[in-house]
A and B are shown apart, each in its own frame.
Chain A
């Protein structure tokens, strides 16, 4: 007899996984300040695909800047920013 087990991927909340760092969308004001501080345009930020599972989860739109806070072996906690791009 063949056993069939369907994993319902949709039910898994990936943001709860320990290997997935914290993602949050920057508010317009925060984004403006960040770009000003680094003296760059959006195009000079690292990118993240709009169909990235975490981007979809937090419902970020193309052009949004995402703040990623991850655990770091060297620094304890480190912040990274990515801009959402389509395709």
Chain B
């Protein structure tokens, strides 16, 4: 089949004229009833068979087609009296104010109208918006008091939302409104922005109402056999009922008052039929009290037709379940429950080469794994294997050209996704590993790109159906190809938590293993390499250091030097002689100096991992990550690692020094307040004296808190050495595995100042935060400084202040996520079609160029060195080493 390219030249919107509505309608709907006692649709009712078919097996009375083929046909309701269309009420108002009440001309002199016409024509020619010009005309015409054409005095027209117009206390009925709109000449209408061929102003007042086909509002049959009608049908029933009553009353010559009431009611029903959320109109409700979902509600908003059926759709071949961790999987893999593997299928085309292989799947059928759920004949017809009685007969017929939809098996490429999909690493391609139980399993290293944890997170999986898609996914989307983030040019996939503390402990100086232990660890991490010479022999036994074993995972010719996370940033770096072992030196693939921590292979920070991906490729990087995580996890599991509240124990001496610092800070604050009161406080530039005081106090208190933290850390470290017992909490903070020194400070020493809106807490009573303080007390404790540590526990007043600060944090995150979500939505809507072409230009779908080189330099940030195009220092280092060798 040849594809003929078609281009949408333009889209034109118009109004339906009454004649048009009548012409497109197949039936005039006259009765409000839908079905008779026998359950057959009534002719002339809302379910008239001429409106289309919904029941399978029947043929349409209008077009003769069956269910899927008949598109449905419109009907109509002849309204006894015209009503205003709510959607156009605002425009009608503008027009009524701009035209003469007698002659219907625009209330502007001929030349002016002509000028607007000219401008409009010009706008149309150059593709500019016509709206502001028409708006301008309305604005100019509404102030005119006397018609320049016929001299008629104009009365003030008031618009009472949503559908009422009042002219000088006299109500304008829709009939009056329609008459006035009818008087507008075609040329005048054009100046007001109408294309009279498709939209006459008076068509905004309805005399006939189109009834949508039944296919638009299908009724559903409940299990009990009861029929339940669509909301639209309910609304149309209301309209017909009132319309009938109105007609009868008019014919019977009922009093004007009654007719007006019924007319008003008809207007209400037609209004809510279009939109049930009009301001000032009580929404029409279902018997249960639920507001009806009428036309506008079907389209609008997140659950509306546009956002949930057109921009996004439900898909087949997908699954969703809870995720859980599995450190034994490769980062490229995903564990899929057998239950799901039996449900998701991959189409396989039968060829002479694979026919025997494929027949095994068919023989197993839909129940037995690994089987198949469908076979597809060359003509596209699908046979469900659950329904096939005689499998052998089917197997006979199976030949090249057929398709077998077989179950997912190990090694299939699938897409794995966690919402919100904020960046491209939120959907990655994984290899399937079919596993027992009911959760998706994933390697811990891929948690950071998905931003996943296991507190109940669920993720989606999509089975790829086509060959091209599979190839693209494998080459471009596989997890190992996404290790480097385009956001900052470093690895986003890497070790977390125990990987880091494990590696840190493993590579500590003094860590040693016997031959057996070394082999055990290497086996667990899947490394088959000979052990080097043992580092030392003691009592005739050979020992290997952690660094030696770690080196076996590194590429053999790797040279790398960097400062670890634990680096103290000393004034003069002692480099290889670093007493903290923070200067990492790798020579010829041997870890000679330094410990492994967050900076080695941690997500967002790993220098070593970064070097391996960039110099040795993604395959090597994946192997490295898989083996290194297995190694350190096995090590730390064997060794044991845990933290408790006693990790925050401080000796008496430390507690005393902390108390002293806090006393000192209190004194300094009082000193500042005294200086302020005596007016000898030195004012900071650009600040009032009061602001200066606040800033100085904040500064003093934050310094005090930091100092207590330093002391706490100092003593924790000293205790660690003295008692030969490591402090797990400190290890995690220092190595970057989890937590920070600030967290430790707050637990062990002092929580510090609580803030609301970046200021010390000041809200509460006038002049004071709580009645426990004197008015005007601005000392540390009265404005939310928490002296205690979390371990000591907070006093009731401190607790209260802490809650204020904490609550602000919660509100901020809630607000931030919603705001950034909307921002992202708008950004993506604007940018979604832009693409970098092969000639490196950025173009939209029309081929219009936006950038001649992306980002002006055409660079892929994920291939840069943390955002830098070239790192001269690294290159020099590399060549210097080569030279030396």
B712 to chain A, nearest CB (A): 43
CB within 8 Å for A40 and B852 given contacts A72-B857, A74-B857, A75-B857: no
- Chain A positions within 8 Å of B859 at CB level: 74
Q: How far is the CA of A79 from the CA of B851 in the complex (A)?
A: 10
A83 to chain B, nearest CB (A): 10
Verify if A1 is at the interface (C-beta below 8 Å from B). Answer: no
Partner of A46, one of B847, B849, B857: B849
- Chain A positions within 8 Å of B856 at CB level: 72-75, 78
B111 to chain A, nearest CB (A): 24
Q: Which residue of B lies closest to A77 (CB)?
A: B856
- Chain B positions within 8 Å of A75 at CB level: 853, 855-858
Contact B847 A78 (CB under 8 A): no
Verify if A60 is at the interface (C-beta below 8 Å from B). Answer: no
Contact B849 A45 (CB under 8 A): yes
Contact A79 B852 (CB under 8 A): yes
Contact A38 B126 (CB under 8 A): no
Contact A44 B855 (CB under 8 A): no
Q: How far is the CA of A87 from the CA of B122 in the complex (A)?
A: 10
Q: How far is the CA of A44 from the CA of B844 in the complex (A)?
A: 10
B283 to chain A, nearest CB (A): 47
Contact A40 B849 (CB under 8 A): yes
**Cβ proximity bits B7-18 to A, threshold 8 Å, 1 near / 0 not:** 000000000000
Verify if B164 is at the interface (C-beta below 8 Å from A). Answer: no
Contact B126 A87 (CB under 8 A): yes
Contact A80 B848 (CB under 8 A): no
A3-56 at interface with B (beta carbon < 8 Å): 38-40, 43-46
Verify if B841 is at the interface (C-beta below 8 Å from A). Answer: yes
Q: How far is the CA of A78 from the CA of B852 in the complex (A)?
A: 9
B444-489 at interface with A (beta carbon < 8 Å): none
Partner of A38, one of B128, B841, B850, B855: B841
- Chain A positions within 8 Å of B858 at CB level: 75
- Chain A positions within 8 Å of B869 at CB level: 74
Q: Which residue of A lies closest to B850 (CB)?
A: A46
Contact A44 B853 (CB under 8 A): no
Verify if B571 is at the interface (C-beta below 8 Å from A). Answer: no
Residue from A40, A43, A74, A86 having most chain B Cβ neighbours under 10 A: A74
- Chain A positions within 8 Å of B855 at CB level: 74-75
- Chain B positions within 8 Å of A87 at CB level: 126, 128
Q: How far is the CA of A40 from the CA of B850 in the complex (A)?
A: 13
Partner of B849, one of A38, A78, A86: A38
- Chain A positions within 8 Å of B128 at CB level: 87
Contact A40 B847 (CB under 8 A): yes
- Residues of B within 8 A of A (CB-CB), count: 18
- Chain A positions within 8 Å of B853 at CB level: 75, 78
B278-298 at interface with A (beta carbon < 8 Å): none
Verify if B846 is at the interface (C-beta below 8 Å from A). Answer: yes
Verify if B839 is at the interface (C-beta below 8 Å from A). Answer: yes
**Cβ proximity bits B828-867 to A, threshold 8 Å, 1 near / 0 not:** 0000000000010101001111101101111100000000
Q: Which residue of A lies closest to B122 (CB)?
A: A87
Q: How far is the CA of A86 from the CA of B126 in the complex (A)?
A: 9
Contact B847 A44 (CB under 8 A): yes
**Cβ proximity bits A60-87 to B, threshold 8 Å, 1 near / 0 not:** 0000000000001111001111000011
Q: Which residue of A lies closest to B848 (CB)?
A: A44
Q: How far is the CA of A72 from the CA of B126 in the complex (A)?
A: 33
Q: How far is the CA of A46 from the CA of B855 in the complex (A)?
A: 16
Q: Which residue of B lies closest to A76 (CB)?
A: B857
- Chain B positions within 8 Å of A86 at CB level: 126
Q: How far is the CA of A7 from the CA of B856 in the complex (A)?
A: 36
Q: How far is the CA of A43 from the CA of B127 in the complex (A)?
A: 14
B498 to chain A, nearest CB (A): 39
A60 to chain B, nearest CB (A): 19
Contact B848 A38 (CB under 8 A): no
- Chain B positions within 8 Å of A45 at CB level: 848-849
Q: How far is the CA of A39 from the CA of B869 in the complex (A)?
A: 30
A87 to chain B, nearest CB (A): 5
Q: How far is the CA of A78 from the CA of B859 in the complex (A)?
A: 13
Q: Which residue of B lies closest to A45 (CB)?
A: B849
- Chain A positions within 8 Å of B852 at CB level: 78-81
Q: How far is the CA of A40 from the CA of B859 in the complex (A)?
A: 24
Q: How far is the CA of A73 from the CA of B857 in the complex (A)?
A: 9
A67 to chain B, nearest CB (A): 10
Q: Which residue of B lies closest to A70 (CB)?
A: B856
- Chain A positions within 8 Å of B841 at CB level: 38
Q: How far is the CA of A1 from the CA of B839 in the complex (A)?
A: 64
- Chain B positions within 8 Å of A81 at CB level: 852
Q: Which residue of B lies closest to A87 (CB)?
A: B126
B63 to chain A, nearest CB (A): 43
B601-655 at interface with A (beta carbon < 8 Å): none
Q: Which residue of B lies closest to A85 (CB)?
A: B126
B802 to chain A, nearest CB (A): 44
Q: How far is the CA of A28 from the CA of B829 in the complex (A)?
A: 37
A77 to chain B, nearest CB (A): 9
Q: How far is the CA of A72 from the CA of B869 in the complex (A)?
A: 14
Q: How far is the CA of A5 from the CA of B857 in the complex (A)?
A: 44
- Chain B positions within 8 Å of A79 at CB level: 852
Q: How far is the CA of A81 from the CA of B853 in the complex (A)?
A: 11
- Chain A positions within 8 Å of B126 at CB level: 86-87
Q: How far is the CA of A75 from the CA of B859 in the complex (A)?
A: 9
Contact A38 B839 (CB under 8 A): yes
Q: Which residue of B lies closest to A40 (CB)?
A: B847
Q: Which residue of B lies closest to A43 (CB)?
A: B848
- Chain B positions within 8 Å of A38 at CB level: 839, 841, 849
- Chain B positions within 8 Å of A80 at CB level: 852
Q: How far is the CA of A80 from the CA of B851 in the complex (A)?
A: 8
B799-853 at interface with A (beta carbon < 8 Å): 839, 841, 843, 846-850, 852-853
- Chain B positions within 8 Å of A78 at CB level: 852-853, 856-857
- Chain B positions within 8 Å of A74 at CB level: 855-857, 859, 869
Q: Which residue of A lies closest to B126 (CB)?
A: A87
- Chain A positions within 8 Å of B850 at CB level: 46
Q: How far is the CA of A79 from the CA of B841 in the complex (A)?
A: 12
A50 to chain B, nearest CB (A): 12
Q: Which residue of B lies closest to A71 (CB)?
A: B856
**Cβ proximity bits B284-322 to A, threshold 8 Å, 1 near / 0 not:** 000000000000000000000000000000000000000
Q: How far is the CA of A46 from the CA of B858 in the complex (A)?
A: 18
Q: How far is the CA of A45 from the CA of B850 in the complex (A)?
A: 8
A37 to chain B, nearest CB (A): 8
Q: How far is the CA of A44 from the CA of B841 in the complex (A)?
A: 12
Q: How far is the CA of A85 from the CA of B849 in the complex (A)?
A: 16
Q: How far is the CA of A73 from the CA of B128 in the complex (A)?
A: 35
Contact A44 B849 (CB under 8 A): yes
Q: Which residue of A lies closest to B125 (CB)?
A: A87
Q: How far is the CA of A86 from the CA of B852 in the complex (A)?
A: 23
- Chain B positions within 8 Å of A72 at CB level: 856-857
Q: How far is the CA of A87 from the CA of B125 in the complex (A)?
A: 11
Q: How far is the CA of A43 from the CA of B846 in the complex (A)?
A: 10
Q: How far is the CA of A18 from the CA of B639 in the complex (A)?
A: 64
- Chain B positions within 8 Å of A39 at CB level: 839
- Chain B positions within 8 Å of A40 at CB level: 847, 849
Q: How far is the CA of A72 from the CA of B856 in the complex (A)?
A: 7
Contact A44 B839 (CB under 8 A): no
Q: How far is the CA of A12 from the CA of B150 in the complex (A)?
A: 55
- Chain B positions within 8 Å of A44 at CB level: 843, 846-849
- Given A74-B869, A78-B853, 17 extra CB contacts under 8 A: A38-B849, A40-B847, A40-B849, A43-B848, A46-B848, A46-B849, A72-B856, A74-B857, A74-B859, A75-B855, A75-B856, A75-B857, A78-B852, A80-B852, A86-B126, A87-B126, A87-B128
- Spell out B's residues near A (CB within 8 Å): 126, 128, 839, 841, 843, 846-850, 852-853, 855-859, 869
Q: Which 10 A-B pairs have the closest CB atoms?
A: A75-B857, A78-B856, A74-B857, A75-B856, A72-B856, A44-B848, A87-B126, A44-B847, A74-B856, A74-B855
15 intermolecular pairs with C-beta atoms under 8 Å apart:
A39-B839, A40-B849, A44-B846, A44-B849, A45-B849, A74-B856, A74-B869, A75-B853, A75-B858, A78-B852, A78-B856, A78-B857, A79-B852, A86-B126, A87-B126
